[in-house]
Amino acid sequence: MQWMTNFSIPESPSPITYQSKILSMGSCFADSMGRRMKEAKFDILVNPFGTIFHPSILAELLDHALFKDKLNEGGILQREDLFFHYSSHSDLNAKSKEELREKWAHQIEQTHQYLKDGSHLILTFGTAWIYEHQDFGPVANCHKQPQNLFNKKITDLDRMVLDLFHVLDNFSRAFPDLKIILTVSPVRHIKDGIPENQLSKSLLRVLCSELERKLDSVSYFPSYEIMMDELRDYRFYKEDRIHPTEEAENYIWEKWVKSQFTRETLVTYQEIQKVNRELAHRPLNPESKSHQKFLQNLKSKLELLNEEFDFSNEIETVSKTLQGFH
């Protein structure tokens, strides 16, 4: 008996390899997938401005990165002796306005380089609901400011299409080799309300379809559909009934790997994953000779992989452990 509805995902027309340079921005699901890419030793920059949920805010940040715009002083605010900006997540903060400007400039420059030299841009859309500050306009994050300063509304589909098309069309001319992968986050924004979340996700899915239709550089990965159809059960959500469990994320990740990686990349990825599992191994007796031999073999594997990938921190950790035997 079949307990789920499976569907096939076509192989990417522009697959990811270990020569790829990747920029990933968007919701907390982008953080989760980005972390896995980093652990697998891909060259990837993840959410340089922190977690960003709304497509139009993503478009605005990408536009700033394209033109290397300076920080808009009108969006700076102070809370609990720290400075934040309405265009970014609270992870981007500083102890002074000058430090905040410097951090913004660094993130803008880094993002620009990943666009300029990059092969792939991955955008994960979280919600179509947006908060507008009465003076600043649409914000990436409210930074725990009084609710009466903001107006919450659903963004028109045409508005989001226009915002994203404008910047991605510019990218097609400025960075003609850059391939764009869009996906809708499976994380449920139920604080907006169940019907409201469903309306939001529907708009985001149509947004992806419209951009894919308009731009040859754009493709779509169905992370939302995998969660909603193949993993259609509350046991695949954490206790908050909002975020996918580790098991669900693993399942979506495997679908990503099979559809987005080349066969050669998949082989290398599996080698790296094997080493990562060995690094996570916790022995029954850390002082045994067998564990010492295990670590020596692991160090040899790491040194071999280090010729192509950066395993310097892992080699240092294993070396220190081995020194403790003497």
What is the pLDDT, as a whole number, of residue 324? 75
Q: Where are the domains of the chain?
A: 21-262, 281-326
What is the pLDDT, as a whole number, of residue 4? 73
Q: Structure tokens of 36?
A: 């896995």
322 pLDDT tier (thresholds 50, 70, 90): confident
Q: Cα-Cα-Cα-Cα dihedral of 139, 142, 145, 148, to 10°?
A: 60
**CA distance linking residue 226 with residue 230, whole number of Å:** 5
Kindly report the average pLDDT of the chain as a whole number.
Answer: 94
Judging by beta carbons within 10 Å of its beta carbon (0-12, 13-18, 19+), is residue 81 exposed, middle or buried?
exposed
**CA distance linking residue 259 with residue 12, whole number of Å:** 6
199 pLDDT tier (thresholds 50, 70, 90): very high
For 19-46, how does the pLDDT look when each residue is reduced to its tens digit (9 = 90+)? 999 999 999 888 999 999 999 999 999 9
**CA distance linking residue 42 with residue 18, whole number of Å:** 6
The CATH code for residues 21-262 is 3.40.50.1110
DSSP SS3 for 228:
helix
1 pLDDT tier (thresholds 50, 70, 90): low
**CA distance linking residue 177 with residue 217, whole number of Å:** 8
Closest CA to 69 of 180, 167, 173: 167
Contact (Cβ atoms closer than 8 angstroms) between residue 185 and residue 122:
no
Q: Structure tokens of 74?
A: 């009108």
For 154-197, how does the pLDDT look when each residue is reduced to its tens digit (9 = 90+)? 999 999 999 999 999 999 999 999 999 999 999 999 888 999 99
Residue 288: is its pLDDT beyond 90?
A: no
Residue 54: is its pLDDT beyond 90?
A: yes
Q: In Å, what is the CA distance from 311 to each residue of 150, 263, 279, 280, 304?
A: 46, 23, 11, 14, 9
Question: Which amino acid does the sequence have at 199?
Answer: L
What is the pLDDT, as a whole number, of residue 270? 95
Q: What percent of the chain has pLDDT over 90?
A: 82
What is the pLDDT, as a whole number, of residue 289? 86
Q: Structure tokens of 4?
A: 């789920």
